Homo-oligomer: A and B are copies of this chain.
Amino acid sequence: MTSGTPPRDGAIIAVDWGTTNRRAYRIAADGSIGDHLRDDRGVLAMAAADYPPALAALRERLGDLPVIAAGMIGSTRGWHEAPYVSAPADLPALAAAALRIEAAGLTIVPGVSLLTDTRADVMRGEELQVLGAIAAGLAPADAVFCQPGTHNKWIVTEAARIVDVATVMTGELFALLKGHGILAGMLDGVVTDGPAFRAGIARGAGATDLGTALFEVRASVLLGHRAPDEAAAYASGVLIGSDVGARAIDGRTVHLLAEGALADLYKVAIEARGGVTVAVDATAAFLGGVHHLRGYLGL
């Protein structure tokens, strides 16, 4: 389609274009979801020249419609860089800073950055889920969100604005330790909730010596103090315990934007630290974000 041609039925295509995966949805004017797809054409699998035919293929499948894309497509590793919006940031701010690629009928949603005297952090994609969850009524305007993954993100909102973010390399550290170095070969067990995972949480939460707590995984197995098949759960507990324990969540509600085994582990850790968890459907949050953003974008 060409830029400026209004879609006949008011539908759009929303893409969550991540590092390794991509999800695309047709969203009708009333916000209802039509056809959708998920594949492994994340930005790491794409060269710049691959984007125009990829968008054409998306339109062939989902309709000749305007495309709104969020996530790593707007990063330096993506197609066109959409500079970060500084926190505090809300949906209108994201819309105002969105990058329009007219020739492609594409709008790229910017990420959100935090830069203070003591902290620097960034997100791309999570901002739309968090603000979308609020816009869609899935979470209150003042909330704490947790988005477990390779890099867990803690996001705090006030009055439907993102005011704080802390990224924790929990999943990546576990994968690095499991795949390489001296703990490799000890962390292949299934990680599930249980005494070993909870002992790990207790060790990791609030610890100032994470590098020592991780070596203890090996030492405790060598000394017969922990069963080898518990090492993975214990190590995961140490890392997730450190992650969750660094946040002030005692007595607070944490909105978990995840599902599956990893979300279950975070739920255990958050509750062990005195928090209350509420599960939020990440897909519904993303789609809610796109649906409300399009109004600000005039699409």
Which residues of A come within 8 Å of B, CB atoms?
Answer: 76, 84, 113-115, 119-122, 151, 166-170, 172-173, 175-177, 179-182, 206-212, 214-216, 218-220, 222-223, 225-226, 239, 242-243, 245-246
Find A176's partner among B181, B212, B216 (CB 8 Å cutoff). Answer: B181
| B-chain residues with CB within 8 Å of residue A167 when the two chains form the complex | 212, 215, 219
Contact present for A120 and B168 (CB under 8 Å): no
Minimum distance in angstroms from A25 CB to a CB of chain B: 27
Q: CB-nearest residue of chain B relative to A219?
A: B120
Question: In the bound complex, what is the Cα–Cα distance between A263 and B209 (angstroms)?
Answer: 20
Closest residue of B by beta carbon distance from A166: B212
Interface of chain A, helix or strand or loop or mixed? mixed
Chain B residues within 8 Å of A182, by CB: 151, 169, 172
Q: Would you give the shortest CB distance from A139 to chain B, in whole angstroms? A: 22
Are B225 and A120 touching (Cβ within 8 A)? Answer: yes
Pick the contact of A168 from B115, B168, B212 — CB < 8 Å? B212
Tell me, rounded to whole Å, the shortest Cβ–Cβ distance linking A231 to chain B: 12
In the assembled complex, the CB of A49 is this many whole angstroms from the nearest CB of chain B, namely: 23
Question: CB distance A211 to B180 under 8 Å?
Answer: no
Identify which of B169, B175, B179, B216 contacts A121 (C-beta below 8 A). Answer: B216
Give the CA-CA distance A207 to B245 in the complex, in Å.
11
A293 → chain B closest CB, angstroms = 23
Q: Taking the nearest CB of chain B, how far is it from the CB of A4, in angstroms? A: 33
- A115 CA to B208 CA in the complex, in Å? 20
Given contacts A170-B211, A211-B169, contact A113 B223 (CB under 8 A): yes
* Given A211-B173, A242-B208: A223 touches B115 (CB 8 Å cut-off): yes
Q: Which chain B residue has the least Cβ–Cβ distance from A242?
A: B211
Instruction: Offer 26 A-B interface pairs, CB within 8 angstroms, sorted by A.
Output: A76-B222, A84-B223, A115-B223, A120-B216, A120-B223, A120-B225, A120-B226, A121-B219, A151-B215, A167-B215, A168-B212, A169-B181, A169-B182, A169-B211, A169-B215, A170-B211, A173-B173, A176-B176, A176-B180, A206-B208, A208-B208, A209-B242, A210-B242, A211-B239, A211-B243, A212-B246
